[in-house]
Amino acid sequence: MNPRTPGTDAREPAFRLMTVCTGNICRSPMAEVVLRDRLEKAGLGDVVEVTSTGISDEEHGNPIDHRAQEVLREHGYPVPRRGARQVAPTDLTANHLVLAMTSVHARALRRLAKTPDVAERVVMYRTFDPAAPELGPGVAEHVLDIADPWYGGIEDFEVCLEQVEAAADAVVDHVRAAVRERGRAEA
């Protein structure tokens, strides 16, 4: 990914978003696939770039977990050939929105950010799920965690996909508004 500030080159996408989990083989690539599909269907595929990374390098180069691939395919999503990679500080500055799968991921990403404005780009993925608990006094960020399906069976990957899909339309709405706003600001 290009480490420049997003949207500074006319050939670059108008908006970049990245999903982040632990090893970049289950949750974040599932979210990447779903969001890419939804953004394409919303007519935003040519102006929005979606990527995913992990906070760890333990799975570096590995493909999407075979169970995640199976669940995605069963639900009609195309599964790209890709290798897992670890997030870098430049990824945070190169993306307008960074969607963390858990509160642990969000904290790690905010620590990795070099400035407060970059840290503010990090948002819990499930904050976009209208049925998810709302954060507030006495409600910790971890209530929005998407559980790691790696340790379970195929049913855990189904639950993960359900959680990802539940928030996807609101992510698309947020991105659509952000792209529109950026367009007005540049006009």
Query: Mind telling me the catalytic residues?
Result: 21, 27, 148
Q: What's the burial of 45, exposed, middle or buried (CB within 10 Å: 0-12/13-18/19+)?
A: middle
Distance CA 183, CA 177 (A): 10
Tell me the Ramachandran region of residue 112: left when phi exceeds 0, alpha when psi lies from -120 to 50, beta otherwise: alpha
Distance CA 43, CA 80 (A): 20
Q: Which residue has the tokens 């855990």?
A: 156
- Please, which residues bridge with residue 51 across strands? 18
